Amino acid sequence: MDEPVDVVAEEEEEELEETEETEETEESLDSEVPEEEDEELEDEELEELEEEEEEEFVEAKRRRKEKDEMEEDIVEERFYTIPLRKAWIVPRKKRAPKAARIVKAFVLKHMKVRTEAEGEEEPEKLVIDNTVNEKIWSKGIEKPPRKIKVRVVKDKEGVVSVLLAEGD
């Protein structure tokens, strides 16, 4: 149990030598890469990060501007859940096209869209967004959804846009 004093002293010396060796290797690694190169690399990385941040800022600003312009043009905005159950009455291979016609008819009726020109006024246009069409056709021609949630927007020029509601 009691070790001679010389053995304990030898073990302590070995531990000291190991720690000194690790410190020397760390110092040699630090000395291999000159400090000037480290600073140059850091400067280049900082410049790249600044450029990326600036690009992101410009992109966000552009999106915000487009959104503001879009909001200024909006005269009327409504959210509807359009029932498409009548599309399931028709034969299998005609259901998705029927569902698209139902969406169009529903929006024309509820937004009071004038399709024919009265006097000097231009007829209003109805634009169904591609995402709505993709949602209708998502399961194929035979199985359109039973109902669909849409956001209908009417702008200053009388153009009515049917967009898929967020979260759907």
Burial 81-107 (b: 16+ CB within 10 A, else e): ebebeebeeeeeeebbebbbebbeebb
Give percent above pLDDT 70 in the chain: 67
Instruction: Please state the rounded mean pLDDT for residues 47-59.
Output: 81
118-136 confidence digits (pLDDT tens) = 666 667 789 999 999 999 9
38-47 confidence digits (pLDDT tens) = 566 577 777 7
Is the whole-model pTM more than 0.75? no
Is pLDDT above 80 for 154? yes
